[in-house]
Amino acid sequence: VKDKKTKEPAPDQTRQLINRCAENGLLIGAVGIFGNVIRVAPPLTINEAEAHESLDIMEKSLLELEE
């Protein structure tokens, strides 16, 4: 969301995050009518270490975009 008061969607920032995650090795997608919802669809066989790795990549990507 670009603005918490108006609740304006932020599809551009969502796309940037998706692209940065892909560069860092995590494939996620955008959904929703405005394209501002992140969809994560891990395989049913994901283990705890892989789940943590995915979250670490997403956190790293978010931090890189804040710079």
Q: What is the pLDDT of residue 34?
A: 94
Residue 61's pLDDT is 98
- Predicted TM-score of the model (pTM): 0.89
pLDDT digits (tens, 9 = 90+) for 8-67: 999 999 999 999 999 999 999 999 999 999 999 999 999 999 999 999 999 999 999 998
**Per-domain residue ranges of the chain:** 11-66
Can you give the chain as a three-state secondary structure string? Answer: CCECCCCECCHHHHHHHHHHHHHCCCCCEEECCCCCEEECCCCCCCCHHHHHHHHHHHHHHHHHHHC
Give the Cα separation of 67 and 65 in Å (integer).
5
How many other CB atoms are there within 10 angstroms of residue 17's CB atom?
A: 19
What pLDDT, in 10s, does the model give residues 40-49? Answer: 999 999 999 9
